[in-house]
C-alpha cells in the first residue's frame, strides 16, 4: 500500500468515528523506507519495560532488578531506566512516568503477536493481562524472546499511521481545552505512539530519545 493510500484510509476511518483530523499532516514512511526493530530487540525491550514497570509499582520488591542482572538484561536498560532502578525509593513523578510505560509495553506485545487485536485506545490496559503473558521469574527470558515473531510490516504501519493522527487529534483537543474525541485516552495514545515510533525506527532514535511529532 502506498503511503498516500494508507493516509486516505486512516482519514476515512477517523471521519467515520467522528474524530477530527488535519489533512495537512504528511504521510508516514512507506514499507520500503521503513526498517523495523528485530523480534529480539523488541523482546529485550519488553522485558526491560516489564521489570522497570514492576519496580515502579512496588519499589520495595527488588526481584525485578535481580532478574535483569541474573539473565544479562541489565545492560539493555536505558540510561533513564538504570537511573530509576539505581535510586530507589523513587520520587512520585518518576514512578508515575514508568507505570504509564505499561501502555508502551502493551503496544509492543501486540507487535509480536502476544495480543490478538489492538483495541481502539480508549481505556488503560489491564495489568493482569500483561502479567499473565510473561513467564515466571524462575525461568530464563531468552527462550520466550527467541520465539517472538513480528506482525507484517504493513499491519504495523497501519497502526503507526492511525496513532500518528489520533495523537494529533488528542493534542489538538487539549490545546482547545476540549475533551478528547470519541472517548480516546490521551495518555494511552501517547504511549502507543511512542512505542510504535521506536519500533519503526522513527528518526532512528534510542528509547529514551523517541519523539512523537504531530
* Chain segment 157-190, per-residue pLDDT in tens: 999 999 999 999 999 999 999 999 999 999 999 9
Domain count, the chain: 1
Percent pLDDT > 90 in the chain is 93
For residue 177, the number of C-alpha atoms closer than 13 Å in the C-beta half-sphere is 0
* Residue numbers of the domain that contains 12: 3-209
Has residue 214 been placed in a domain? Answer: no
Map grid coordinates 490545546 to a residue.
175
pLDDT tens-place string over residues 132-153: 999 999 999 999 999 999 999 9
Has residue 145 been placed in a domain? Answer: yes
User: 81 pLDDT band (50/70/90 cuts)?
Assistant: very high
Kindly report the pTM of this predicted structure. 0.96
Amino acid at each position: 500500500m502506498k503511503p498516500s493510500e494508507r493516509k486516505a484510509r486512516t482519514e476515512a476511518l477517523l471521519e467515520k468515528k467522528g474524530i477530527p483530523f488535519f489533512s495537512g499532516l504528511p504521510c508516514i514512511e512507506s514499507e520500503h523506507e521503513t526498517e523495523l526493530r528485530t523480534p529480539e530487540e523488541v523482546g529485550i525491550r519488553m522485558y526491560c519495560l516489564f521489570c522497570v514497570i514492576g519496580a515502579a509499582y512496588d519499589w520495595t520488591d527488588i526481584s525485578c532488578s535481580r532478574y535483569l542482572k541474573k539473565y544479562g538484561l541489565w545492560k539493555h536498560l536505558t540510561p533513564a531506566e538504570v537511573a530509576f532502578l539505581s535510586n530507589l525509593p523513587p520520587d512520585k513523578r518518576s514512578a508515575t512516568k514508568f507505570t504509564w510505560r505499561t501502555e508502551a509495553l502493551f503496544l509492543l506485545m501486540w507487535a509480536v503477536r502476544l495480543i490478538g487485536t489492538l483495541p481502539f485506545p480508549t481505556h488503560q490496559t489491564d495489568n493482569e493481562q500483561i502479567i499473565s503473558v510473561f513467564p515466571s521469574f524462575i525461568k530464563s527470558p531468552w527462550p520466550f524472546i527467541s520465539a517472538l515473531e513480528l506482525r507484517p510490516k504493513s499491519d504495523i504501519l497501519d497502526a503507526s499511521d492511525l496513532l500518528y493522527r489520533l495523537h494529533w487529534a488528542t493534542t489538538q483537543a487539549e490545546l482547545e481545552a476540549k475533551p478528547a474525541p470519541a472517548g480516546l485516552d490521551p495518555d494511552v495514545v501517547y504511549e502507543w505512539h511512542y512505542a510504535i515510533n521506536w519500533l519503526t525506527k522513527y528518526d532512528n532514535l534510542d528509547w529514551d530519545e523517541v519523539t512523537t511529532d504531530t
